[in-house]
């Protein structure tokens, strides 16, 4: 019986040595400490719209049209379309439009000079 116990113990020791080697527990690199895990901090980005001081940010109301808005602010429909890079004249309630400041145009082609 004693011989069987010794054989069993040797076999168990051999199995443990094989398993230990396969798992890398005898390799010095496997016993080194890993560097700390780098964590990231969540960040939030915001987008702001900066208008030139003379421009107006207008929120389209139900029933508005570009023509009515242009007349209200004394600008052309084309000026609003260009400033907002609109693909068409279609606008929706709640949409924000940048309205350029109206420019006074003086037509001096009809001006006459005294002789």
Q: What are the boundaries of each domain within the chain?
A: 2-27, 56-99
For the segment 10-19, what is each residue's pLDDT rounded down to a tens digit?
A: 777 777 666 6
**Among candidates 35, 12, 10, which has minimal Cα distance to 20?**
12
For the segment 53-112, what is each residue's pLDDT rounded down to a tens digit?
A: 678 899 999 999 999 999 999 899 999 999 999 998 889 999 999 998 865 555 566 555
Residue 29: which region, alpha, beta or left (left: phi > 0; alpha: psi -120 to 50)?
alpha
Q: What is the pLDDT of residue 95?
A: 94
Q: What is the pLDDT of residue 36?
A: 79
The structure's pTM equals: 0.46
Q: What is the CATH number of domain 56-99?
A: 3.10.350.10
User: Residue for token digits 């606008």?
Assistant: 91
What is the rounded distance in angstroms from the CA atom of residue 42 to the CA atom of residue 55? 35
User: Residue for token digits 């929120």?
Assistant: 59
């Amino acid at each position: 019986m004693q011989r069987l116990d010794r054989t069993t113990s040797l076999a168990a020791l051999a199995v443990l040595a094989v398993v230990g080697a396969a798992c890398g527990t005898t390799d010095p690199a496997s016993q080194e400490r890993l560097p700390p895990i780098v964590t990231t901090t969540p960040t939030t980005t915001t987008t702001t719209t900066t208008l030139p001081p003379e421009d107006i940010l207008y929120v389209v109301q139900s029933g508005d049209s570009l023509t009515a808005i242009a007349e209200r602010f004394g600008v052309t429909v084309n000026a609003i379309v260009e400033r907002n890079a609109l693909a068409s004249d279609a606008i929706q309630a709640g949409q924000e439009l940048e309205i350029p400041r109206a420019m006074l145009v003086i037509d001096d082609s009809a001006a006459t000079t005294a002789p």
